[in-house]
Amino acid sequence: MALDLHALYESEADGLFSFLGRFGLAGADLEDAMHDTFVTALARQATFDPTRPVRPWLLGIAFRMAVGRLRARREGSGPELPEEQIQDLSQNPERAAEARQAAQLLQRALAEVSEEQGSVFVMFDLQGVPAA
């Protein structure tokens, strides 16, 4: 069954944007991860089981994109966490520092667990995807 990429993007882009952003991706890095997620989904559409929801499958692809970018960043070949991603709308320095610390803590925690555990944590606890 062929996926309708336009419909898939319309229904899932906002959730994927938020999901990838929770990993600390922002700016061009976030846009590239979004693009790569949909390109990969299109290339791997034969692996999608149409009897199951598309969101967890797509989030799994997005998770692998985020992990790859975080590994590249950790190894020094990726961009640092952009400051504009940390700043909140009120420009409150205390809240910005808290957000920066939380993002760094999340990145360190995700680096310590397996990809499967990290994807379950982010999808269930942060994105609200049902465990089933």
Write the pLDDT tens digit of every residue in 33-45: 999 999 999 899 9
> DSSP state, 46?
G
Write the pLDDT tens digit of every residue in 42-91: 899 998 898 998 998 898 899 888 888 877 777 764 444 444 444 444 45
Single pTM value for the model: 0.60
End-to-end CA distance of the chain: 23
